Amino acid sequence: MKKFISLLLIACLGAFIFISLYFPGGGTLAFPYYGDVDLNGRVSQAYIDKSVNGPNDVVVYGESTDEESGSANMVTSIVVDYRSFDTLGEVTVLLVSTLGVGILLGGKRKRLEYKHAPNFILKHGARLTFGLLVVFGVYMFAHGHLTPGGGFPGGSIIAAAILLLYLADDEFRVKLAGIKIAEGTAGSLYVIIGLAGLATGGYFLYNFLPNGTVGKLFSAGIIPIVYALIGLKVGSEISGAIDGFATEEVAE
């Protein structure tokens, strides 16, 4: 009975969404049809042309210098430059939720015991892969302004490497004190960079470093620095949460 009522409710909701999305019925559509978006005149076009603060010529990869935000990846230029304050809030949300995980799964803890002890090959193969994964994660956030990726995926890849060690070795544990120091340092440095922008440029998280040539590794001002900090912070936060899930409380 309950399932039937839920199904009915879902059907009504689905019909409502479909009708309001695809059948205007005299009014205007809430969203344009799929693929029919026109970016001209929208702020998105200004983000693509890097002309938010004023009109700008065409940006050319590898040639244009000192463009606004200076990042070849436009999504990154939005996330860590135009809307960097938003990202600071996002990082804070992640901090608060991992804090909640730490409180719920806190106390004196030990590793969960496995029914089958992992063998030599598994342990050492996982350690070999761990190094490769960490290097890939660092590559991911160091090139966040040039290629797809950035601090959040890079940090998640590093946390995945830690998870691999947790799964393959039943005695491995990260040093939680070190994780907390890395997390706190990275988070405070982000805010300090923002305050440095406030002191030099007049507003919080101002991109005060030279922007360089679009497409070069050393370009885009503070974006690579901030993304590296975000990567470290996200990686250490998720690693701390993983530690909470892979351990159990010790009865005192």
Is 58 one of the binding residues for other proteins (CB under 8 A)? Answer: yes
Is 93 one of the binding residues for other proteins (CB under 8 A)? Answer: yes
The answer to whether 182 touches 95, Cβ cutoff 8 Å, is no
The answer to whether 129 touches 164, Cβ cutoff 8 Å, is yes
Instruction: Using the minimum distance from each CB to other proteins, give the nearer residue, 13 or 132.
Output: 13
Lay out the site mask for other proteins across 199-238 (x = CB under 8 A, - = otherwise).
---------------xx------------------x---x
Closest contact distance (angstroms) between CB of 208 and other proteins is 22
Residues 6+ apart with CB under 8 A from 144: 73, 76, 80, 150, 151, 154, 223, 224, 227, 231
> How many CA atoms, within 13 angstroms, populate the side-chain half-sphere of residue 39?
8
Is 198 one of the binding residues for other proteins (CB under 8 A)? Answer: no
Is 161 one of the binding residues for other proteins (CB under 8 A)? Answer: no
Residue type, 162: I
Nearest residue to 91 (alpha-carbon basis) of 138, 151, 31: 151
Closest contact distance (angstroms) between CB of 63 and other proteins is 8
What are the beta bridge partners of residue 247?
A: 111
Instruction: Using the minimum distance from each CB to other proteins, give the nearer residue, 59 or 193.
Output: 59
Gyration radius (Cα) of the chain, Å: 23
Interface residues toward other proteins, by CB under 8 A = 2-3, 6-7, 9-10, 13-14, 17-18, 21, 31-32, 34-39, 42-44, 47-50, 58-62, 72-75, 78-79, 83, 86-87, 90, 93-94, 96-98, 100-101, 104-105, 146-148, 150, 152, 156, 214-215, 234, 238, 241, 244-245, 249
